[in-house]
Each structure stands twice: as structure tokens, then as C-alpha cells.
Amino acid sequence: MRFRLLHYTSFVPILSCLIVDPWGLKFCWLCYLFFVYLVLERKEWNGYSLGTWVVLQRCAETCMIFSLALSQVSPWLSPFAWLLLKEPRRPPFLYALCCCALYCNDPLQMGLLLGMVVAEYSSAPSDWQGAVYHRILTRVVQVLGLTLAYRTGTHRLTLVVFALMLKACCYLVRPDNVSHARWWNGALPAILELNIKDHTL
């Protein structure tokens, strides 16, 4: 349960964006959350396998990057970035190029972009628990990179403190049973599908 909560709480800061952002961006955040939800459910949907939704969720993340960039021109242009969803392939190099769309002279935002790219290229540890924490950390970095883009300093500080408090609260929950972790075969999809564990990373 703890690992599940640590993973799920990574996406909670998006809810604040749904409240404060203009309507064009609200629609984009809802689209992004929809594809996140399909992956978190870990099930086939509409006749397509889980792997299809994992790929589309990564594609949705790059669409969200372009939505945020377009919102600086006009929030009503943001939804047009989702036309890119037709091309689901997003190799790490293309993801890194897409991150450049959020480039600006803000040092913190530049640091977040660098973190998103490094997280995309980073390799998971060979042990199961290390790989799970690696997955949680990469999602935190990439989601915060989106939610903190083009925000004021006060808004950023509030979101970061809130996110850290949520993560800290997760450690009040009973730890997961990791007795079967030795059977993990090293494939990252096993963390998503959880064919050996009782939580839904």
C-alpha cells in the first residue's frame, strides 16, 4: 500500500493546476489525467492492452509540455497541442527535444527541465525495490516539471511543500510485503503490471 500511495500522490499537484489555470489549460490537464488514470488502472481498456496506454501516457506528457508552452501565447491555443497524440512514439531523445519547448530564462524552470531529461535517461537499479523507488522519483520529477512551469515563486513553494507533506504521510501507512521481490526478472513493465506484488506501481 505504501508504494502505491507514494506513486499516486505524485499526480496530486495536478489537481491544483485544474483549479487555478485558465479553461484551455484545464482541458489539457484533464486529458493528461485521463491517460494517467488508464495506466494506473493496469487493465486492458476498449480492446487495447495496457502497453498501449503506457505508450499513450508518455505521449500525453509531451502533449502537455506543448500545451504549457502554447499557453504563454494564449490558453485557448493549449488544446491544439493534443493533435500530436496521433503519433504515439516518444523515444527518450524526442522527449528531451520536446522538453525544450518549456525553455525560458527562469533558472528554476531550466533546472526542472534538466531534471525531466535526466529522469528520462536514467537507468533503474537492478534490485526490485530500488527500481520501484526509481520509478516513483522519476514520475515526481517529471510531473513537478510540468506543474511548476511558468508559476510564481510562492505557487511553486506551496506545491513543493504540499507534495513533500503528501509523501511524508505515505510513510505512516504499513510497509508493503517485499518477500517475493527476489523473483523479479528485472523488466520494468513488471513494476507496472505487478504480477508478483500486491500494489499497483
pLDDT in tens, 99-141: 989 988 899 999 999 999 999 888 888 777 788 888 889 999 9
**Which set of grid coordinates corresponds to residue 137?**
522519483
Q: Cell triple for residue 191? A: 513494476
Q: From CA 85, how far away is CA 82, in angstroms rounded?
A: 5
Assigned C-alpha cell, 163: 507534495
Q: Is the pLDDT of residue 195 over 50?
A: no
Task: Write the pLDDT tens digit of every residue in 49-87.
Answer: 878 888 888 899 999 999 999 999 999 999 999 998 877
Whether 194 shows a pLDDT value over 80: the answer reads no
Residue 45's φ and ψ, nearest 5 degrees, are -150, 135
Q: Rounded to an integer, what distance in angstroms lies between the CA atom of residue 146 and that of residue 107? A: 15
The pTM of the full predicted model, rounded to 2 decimals, is 0.85
The pLDDT, as a whole number, for residue 200 is: 44
